[in-house]
Amino acid sequence: MPERPGLLPIWTVLAALSWLLTSCADPDLAQLETYATRIKAREPGPIEPVPEIPPVTTYVYDPDERRDPFTMDDQSAEVAQQGLNGLAPDPTRRKEPLEAYSLDALRMVGTLEQDQRRWALITTPDGRLHRVQVGNFLGRNNGEIVKIKPDQLELTELVEEQPGQWQQRQASMALKD
């Protein structure tokens, strides 16, 4: 077997370490043997019986001819869809990026106009600039832009007052200098 240059010091350290550990052991094991004999000679204590487990009554749910308790029935779904007062946001509409922010966090910084069309320029808290027009949505309360003026925009929000009851509310955002 070829010798490796760094192997001899490792074996020397391991041999010295094992010699130190074995020299620390007490060669007189009489006290330990006496203790073990005393433990073995003791009478074993009584073992308590395992407590009786009462039988569990089982219930089998038979879903035949019953409605699923985790889904709405048709009437409840229709009421939830349209709201109790007929107002409700469209759940199939894709959310727009500015709906992730509250109105207080957004700033109107300008307007653009071309060919009788007007856009508002909105900045987000992270500094991104967005161009919006009438019909776009912004804010967390389903706010739809209904009018853009040179110095402000007006929107109609749908706020859920109680579960299933939506209230329309007017809001505006003024141009910030």
- Contact status, residue 138 vs residue 103, Cβ threshold 8 Å: yes
Convert the pLDDT of each residue in 6-27 to its tens digit: 566 787 888 888 877 776 666 6
Dist. CA 1–CA 174, nearest whole Å: 88
Name the pTM for this structure: 0.52
pLDDT category of residue 153 using cuts at 50, 70 and 90: very high
**Residues forming beta bridges with residue 174, ordered by sequence position:** 152
The yes/no answer on whether domain 74-174 falls in CATH 2.30.30.830 is yes
Six-digit token string for 14: 């391991």
Where are the domains positioned within the chain?
A: 74-174
Q: What is the DSSP letter of 51?
A: P
Q: Is beta strand 129-132 parallel, antiparallel or unpaired with respect to 117-123? A: antiparallel
Convert the pLDDT of each residue in 37-75 to its tens digit: 998 898 888 889 999 999 999 888 777 877 777 777 666
Q: What percentage of the chain has pLDDT greater than the value 90?
A: 44
- Contact status, residue 155 vs residue 143, Cβ threshold 8 Å: yes
